Structure 1
Amino acid sequence: MISTSARSRRALAFAAAGLTALALAGCATESAAEGDGGQAAACAPEDIQLIGQVRNETNPYEKAWLDGGDEFAESVGLTQTRLTYDGESPKQQEQLRQALSTGNPECMVLNVLPNGDSDTTPIVKEADAAGAYLVTHWNKPADLDPWDGYDTWISHITFNGVDSGRQIAEAMFEAMGGEGGIIALQGILDTSAAKDRFIGLEDALAENPGVTLLDEQAADFDRTTAFNVTKTLITKHGDAITGVWAANDDMALGALQALEAAGMSGVAVVGIDAVPEAVQAIADGKMTATVSSDGPWQGGIGLAMGYCALTGELAVSDLSDEERAFFAKQTLIDASNAEANLTPSVNLEDFECGNLFNRVDGPVS
């Protein structure tokens, strides 16, 4: 069953005018054949445009995301357009507007990391109005959901930040022997990821009275900012710091550099994202733990969802609420499994139309 999106509404108007052939033709060389999803393909595969957008490629996790998108695109004979907006919300939205005004948006797939929760609403509305398929990751307002009238917003994918924040905290506390003082580096505060991960830390602290939170500062998920913030906190707290909790690996690595510059060793440092440099630091005994959210998989899965919808192999209207907004599975990486996770890789079977939701690990409530 085809959803009543901007694409299908136009098709119905054509049909009412007796132009059924044009409705089936759709965008460019649209196929009338049905895909495995039981609906007519909206676009010929060669006419599909794939776009991935993240903040920047200096963050290894976000670069790995776009690399995963490239691997999926190549597997279906297409090329991904890589967009970066440098953490600037106006720039992100302008990039997407330009993309939607170029080519045929009804044969377009957007796989997007919104800069903050408040950025998701305008992104979703513009993509839906243009008839472009969209998958968002990490950030959205709690009261905004794909099934609330957004027929081309396929899914919102995130990870249980409370769980990951707690997991790395517990690994750090264990390395500290259950006592000591820690500093916390928060991410961009207008993001669900930053908020939830810090809640996970707070939950872990409540269960470990021997550990004291000495200080917490926002470092915007950025390595250089984290380096400078950590230097300041080292000056303030000195040797009382026995652990550094960071809301992502880039900040953890910045903190590690600051600790090394100050001649401080034996401090437990944890992060999130499992970027190769952080995993190597864990294998080398310099960092304690991270959590993998599998950036390459994220970069490919959103494009794959849109591709399958456009080729008729996925009917968005048939998806459950849990499939349209879900937590994906994540993995704690510590000294026991760091060597096995040094190189991010893509399993193209994950992107087959029948496997798109194999990593669902619960609904986003």
Structure 2
Amino acid sequence: MMKRRLFAAGAAVSLLAGLVACSDGESAVEGGAAGGGDGEVKSVGLMLQDISNPFFASMQNSLQETAEAEGIQLNVQDGRQDLSVQSSQIDTFIQQGVDLIIINAVDSEGIGSAVQRAKDAGITVVAVDVDATNADAAVTTDNVLAGTMACTALAEKIGGEGNILILEGTPTTAPRERVEGCEEVLASDFPDITVVGKQATTNDRATGLSVATDLLTANPDVQGIFGMNDPVALGADLALQQAKRDGVVVVGVDGSPEAVEAMTGGDTSLWATPAQDPAGMVDEAYRIGVDIVAGNEPEERVTLLDPSLVTIDTVGEYEGW
């Protein structure tokens, strides 16, 4: 079972600073720029797509624990699924002179110019959960594998034939790679399954509900739904309940507490979710960032963490986030 890991910062931190967490884009570093340029990390900016999502809240909580334990200054920013907001937040971090930015981008390619501005200012940037153009390194789940696992579980549950829907996500690497893994395994191993509808969501339950409702109306003969994450999958589950549709299998990705609650409650169409480790992921991104600041580059630019499949049959054994 994946465990939360707290990683040592390498070089000793000579100045202890209070932990600061905020989400309004204002300066959170007392006394101006914190970057010392001495190979040590004293201040970190953590940028998350949407803190209201429990997955990203888990990242925030984990890194806050690390910051408290190691005496570093932490500034947490909520990107609110808005590229322009995240771009402005990076500019604020540059002004503050943070030593390390850990970014969970809302747009993997669109954020590239802002990331480059930070690097030009001498700030190390590590992407987490989804890659970001120009980032020094990235730590993500193996999202192709997650999509493969989810759609294999879906295909096997519906007997290897029938029609399914795919609910995509925002323009970042993780949703794209999950759909890629899903479509690849369907094409290679389940030729009798047809994707009859595919549409983007904004990675949340509300658009999962609305998109699934529309696609189910347009495609009444559906046996399964792949949601690119658990909130989207749970939105699809609600759409099925509202339409009083039985016998449709739903899968997601995350292993979230909400998915576990649904799967243990019994009254759900959600069958499986490849579980991620958000706490371990952000801790690994921090460790790699600290190493880069100290002059030690990772062997591979992208570090992939394996998901673990959780189904209704095995959810009782899953420890969760």
TM-score interval (norm. to shorter): 0.7 to 0.9
Query: Residue type matched to 1:198 in 2?
Result: V
2:162 pairs with 1:180? yes
Aligned to 2:199: 217
Paired residues of 2:251 and 2:273 also in contact (CA < 8 A): yes
Counterparts in 2 of 1:298 and 1:160: CA distance versus 1, 3 Å: closer
Task: Give the root-mean-square deviation of aligned CA atoms.
Answer: 2.4
Query: Residue type matched to 1:135 in 2?
Result: V
Q: How many angstroms does 1:217 deviate by?
A: 0.8
Query: Which of 250, 255, 260 pairs up with 2:231?
Result: 250
Deviating 4+ runs (over 4 angstroms): 27-30
Q: How many angstroms does 1:91 deviate by?
A: 0.7
- Identify which range, 191-200 or 221-230, moves more after superposition: 191-200
Q: How many angstroms does 1:308 deviate by?
A: 4.9
Q: How many angstroms does 1:112 deviate by?
A: 0.5
Distance, in Å, in 1 between the alignment partners of 2:190 and 2:234 is 25
Aligned to 2:311: 334
Output the TM-score relative to the length of structure 1: 0.72
Aligned to 1:66: 60
Structure 2: stretches of 5+ with no match in the other structure? 1-32
Distance, in Å, in 1 between the alignment partners of 2:305 and 2:114 is 22
Q: How many angstroms does 1:297 deviate by?
A: 1.6
Counterparts in 2 of 1:55 and 1:225: CA distance versus 1, 3 Å: same
Distance, in Å, in 2 between the alignment partners of 1:278 and 1:74 is 30
Aligned to 2:132: 140
- 1:44-68 deviation per Cα after TM superposition (whole angstroms, max 9, x unaligned): x7xx112211111222211112122
Distance, in Å, in 1 between the alignment partners of 2:208 and 2:260 is 18
Paired residues of 2:154 and 2:249 also in contact (CA < 8 A): yes
Distance, in Å, in 2 between the alignment partners of 1:175 and 1:280 is 20
Q: How many angstroms does 1:303 deviate by?
A: 2.5
Distance, in Å, in 1 between the alignment partners of 2:157 and 2:126 is 38
Query: Residue type matched to 2:127 in 1?
Result: T
Which residues in structure 2 correspond to 1:218-237 (within 5 Å)?
Answer: 218-237=200-219
> Which has the larger share of helix?
1
Distance, in Å, in 2 between the alignment partners of 1:29 and 1:199 is 40
Structure 1: stretches of 5+ with no match in the other structure? 1-26, 31-39, 147-152, 345-365
Which residues in structure 2 correspond to 1:10-49 (within 5 Å)?
Answer: 42-43=39-40, 48-49=42-43
Q: How many angstroms does 1:336 deviate by?
A: 4.2
Aligned to 2:122: 131
- 1:235-289 deviation per Cα after TM superposition (whole angstroms, max 9, x unaligned): 2223x22211011111001111111111123321111122111123233342111
Aligned to 1:274: 255
Which residues in structure 2 correspond to 1:338-353 (within 5 Å)?
Answer: 338-344=315-321
Distance, in Å, in 2 between the alignment partners of 1:245 and 1:89 is 26
Distance, in Å, in 2 between the alignment partners of 1:336 and 1:234 is 27
2:293 pairs with 1:302? no
Distance, in Å, in 2 between the alignment partners of 1:199 and 1:42 is 39
Query: Residue type matched to 2:316 in 1?
Result: E
Aligned to 2:296: 316
Counterparts in 2 of 1:337 and 1:110: CA distance versus 1, 3 Å: farther
Which residues in structure 2 correspond to 1:92-241 (within 5 Å)?
Answer: 92-102=86-96, 104-105=97-98, 108-137=99-128, 138-141=130-133, 153=136, 155-188=137-170, 190-206=171-187, 207-238=189-220, 240-241=221-222
Paired residues of 2:45 and 2:101 also in contact (CA < 8 A): yes
Counterparts in 2 of 1:278 and 1:157: CA distance versus 1, 3 Å: same
Query: Residue type matched to 1:234 in 2?
Result: L
